[in-house]
Amino acid sequence: MTDDRYHRSEHFINGEFRPAHSNARIELVDPATEEVFGSTAFGDAADVDDAVRAAKAALPAWSALEPKERGDYLRKLADAMEKRIDVIAETVSKENGTPISLSKAMQGMPPANYRYFAGLADAFVPEEHRETMAGDAFIQRMPVGVVGAIVPWNGPQPLIAWKIGPALAAGCTVVVKPAAETSLDAFYFAEAAQEAGFPPGVVNMITGGRETGAKLVEHPDVAKIAFTGSTRAGRQIAEQCGKDFKHVTLELGGKSAGILLDDVVLEDFKPFVMSALTPNTGQTCRALTRILAPRERYDEIVDFIADTMKSTPLGEPSNPSNFYGPLVNKSQYEKVMSYLDLGKSEGAEIVTGGGRPEGFDKGYYVAPTVFKNVTNDMRIAREEIFGPVIVVMPYDSIDEAIEIANDSEYGLGGGVFSPDEDRATDVARRIVSGTVSVNAASCPMDVPFGGIKNSGMGRELGPDALEPYTVTKTIFRTPVASA
Ligand code: NAD
């Protein structure tokens, strides 16, 4: 039987849900059952053009509001999102297999994020007077213009919030393009935006796939792209934005190192095996998937991580006691499985996992896997796998651990674990990456987040989050000679 909640044919444009121009559809597949359960419209160039046109028309009035008034809209959006936490959590879980307990926790983030950005709007100073070497100057901070926000499937709502929160606070208008896999939960976001009462055109949402995203990037009236996703897509987007001199921020992939110091207490480290190494069944950009262990404790640490992962509940995402679920889709499942074969052929040894978990005939499940006897030149140690797969490498000195950690094309996360937090922080200072945690898993929203090297450029969150959504204009004047 068709469930209408799961089938949508519109986009959210100019404050209303409008039918898509074409009949092209995205089929939504439940990764736990491999069955199609819903569908959304695959947006085309005409849909994108309508949305950008609406955003462009709304820009002058929206950017002319007092920043605090924009903050008030963001607070209303936070309230409207808060009411929808449960339904969004259930929808995301069905779309991408995020276990429901984690999905609920993740949906708590956007309301808090929108309130945080509302606070930044309240404090936003759109014009500053400076006395210069030759008279007065007025530095205006103007919104960059229409922003295209393109997000992946693994944390769709927080990642939308991280982009459009600061964009709207700064006076930009937005067109959101969720990933095809999570195009259904985006409707609850659009409904929340409608309920918050944004003026028509300030917030727009187009469902679709890669081609839809590319149309948004190419659109001449889009001034900035805020993107989270793969390094491959990020490179294509950066090239296009470079050609057009568009502003762009990119949050991309990672292969982050977690260094356990020689005094680590494994019982204290245990929660981080789940929250820092394999959150969202390993499908988290910042996951610490390359573990560095002191050689004298190597076997003990390998076994501890393997035992912890093996004994952590895996199964149906709708069961709140499960921590691991299926991977998002068939291609991700096949990709992760191919890395398991690759690791064996490279000479690494599987300690636990290594294939489908027992008792699962359906669904894109991969057993949490730990590789040992890994060297940093192996592809399983260098490439982002994006699944519940951990490689553990030994080190003989802190210098060597840091050298291995930094020998990566990526630089998004990193972690150091030790009861001596000052010693761990000194090690963290030497890791070349956008963020490094010390005895912690996730990054708080009031500090900058982002990557370097192939993990991207630009920062989200933190007190300066509005900066990438503004451009400055300088008005300077010299005293009139006759005055
Ligand atoms: P993806 O790059 O294939 O897709 C991400 C989004 O971009 C989707 O909405 C997609 O439709 C769109 N897209 C893809 N190619 C495009 C193009 N050429 N032009 C415009 N839009 C395009 O990534 P994915 O498979 O959806 O997500 C997984 C990847 O995202 C992983 O590599 C992961 O590390 C990364 N990620 C990074 C962060 C971070 O904050 N750094 C967070 C989450 C995920």
Q: What is the predicted pLDDT for the residue at 480?
A: 86
Just give the CATH number of 4-252+456-473: 3.40.605.10
- Count the neighbouring beta carbons within 10 Å of the beta carbon of residue 36: 11
User: Is the entire prediction scored with pTM above 0.95?
Assistant: yes
**What residue's CA is closest to ligand 1, atom 39?**
251
- The atom number, within ligand 1, closest to the CA of 150 reads 9
Catalytic residue check, 251? yes
Contact criterion met (CB below 8 Å) for 342 and 299:
no
Cα 290 to Cα 255: distance, rounded to the nearest angstrom: 7
Q: Which of 95, 181, 251, 384 is catalytic?
A: 251
Which residue's CA is the nearest one to ligand 1's atom 34?
Answer: 253
Render pLDDT for 160-216 as a digit per residue (tens, 0 to 9).
999 999 999 999 999 999 999 999 999 999 999 999 999 999 999 999 999 999 999
Ligand 1: residue whose CA is nearest its atom 42 = 285
Q: Which residues contact 220 (CB under 8 A, 6 or more apart)?
A: 244
Q: Quick one: how far is CA 67 from the chain centroid?
A: 26
How distant, in Å, are the alpha carbons of 16, 75, 84, 150, 206 from that of 192? Answer: 12, 11, 8, 19, 15
366-388 burial, b at 16+ Cβ within 10 Å, e below that, comes to bbbbbbbbbebebebbeebbbbb
- Give the position of tokens 């292969």: 255
Which atom of ligand 1 is nearest to 208's Cα? Answer: 11
Query: pLDDT for 343-354, tens place per residue?
Result: 999 999 999 999
Report the C-alpha gap between 161 and 166 in whole angstroms. Answer: 8
CB 73 within 8 A of CB 115: no
Q: Is the pLDDT of residue 1 over 70?
A: no
Number of H helices, E strands in the chain: 15, 22
> Going by CA atoms, what residue is nearest to atom 40 of ligand 1?
251
Q: If you take atom 36 of ligand 1, which residue's CA is the nearest one?
A: 229
List Cα–Cα distances, 294 to 278, 398, 479, in angstroms. 21, 9, 67
Q: What's the 151 CA to ligand 1 centre distance in angstroms?
A: 6
Q: What are phi and psi of 397, to 5 degrees?
A: -150, 160
Residue 360 burial by CB count (10 A; 0-12/13-18/19+): exposed, middle or buried? middle
- d(C-alpha 382, C-alpha 395), whole Å: 17
pLDDT > 90? residue 5: no
Average pLDDT score over residue span 430-457: 96
Give catalytic status of residue 296 as yes or no. Answer: no
Residue 90 tokens, joined: 């259930």
**Residues with Cβ within 6 A of ligand 1?**
150-155, 177, 179-180, 209-210, 213-214, 217, 228-230, 233, 236-237, 251-254, 285, 384, 386, 412, 451, 456
Helix (H, G, I), strand (E, B) or coil at 263: coil
Q: What is the mean pLDDT of the chain?
A: 97
**Tell me, what's the pLDDT at 198?**
98
pLDDT tens string 75-116: 999 999 999 999 999 999 999 999 999 999 999 999 999 999
Average pLDDT over residues 118-139: 96
Cross-strand partners of 258: 291, 415
Domain boundaries, the chain: 4-252+456-473, 257-446
CA distance 332 to 96: 11
Q: Which two tokens stand for residue 364?
A: 């894109």
Which of 109, 210, 385 for a ligand 1 pocket mutation test, highest count of atoms within 8 Å of Cβ? 210
Mean per-residue pLDDT, 117-123: 98
230 Cα: distance to centroid of ligand 1 (angstroms): 4
3-state SS, one letter per residue, for 129-188: EEEECCEEEEEEEEECCEEEEECCCCCHHHHHHHHHHHHHHHCCEEEEECCHHHCCCHHH
| Nearest-angstrom CA–CA distance, 255 and 391 | 10
- Calculated CA dihedral for residues 314, 316, 318, 322, nearest 10 degrees: -10
Side-by-side strand order, sheet with 389-395: 349-352, 369-372, 389-395, 288-294, 256-260, 415-417, 437-438
| pLDDT tens digits, one per residue of 141-162 | 999 999 999 999 999 999 999 9
Q: What Å distances lie between residue 238 and 21, 151, 218, 241, 289, CA to CA? A: 28, 15, 11, 5, 26
Tell me the C-alpha distance between 126 and 114, whole Å: 20
List pLDDT tens digits, range 291-318.
999 999 999 999 999 999 999 999 999 9
CATH superfamily of domain region 257-446: Aldehyde Dehydrogenase; Chain A, domain 2 (3.40.309.10)
> Among candidates 82, 304, 105, 303, which has minimal Cα distance to 196?
82
Nearest atom of ligand 1 to the alpha carbon of 234: 2
CB neighbour class for 242 (10 Å; exposed up to 12, middle 13-18, buried from 19):
exposed
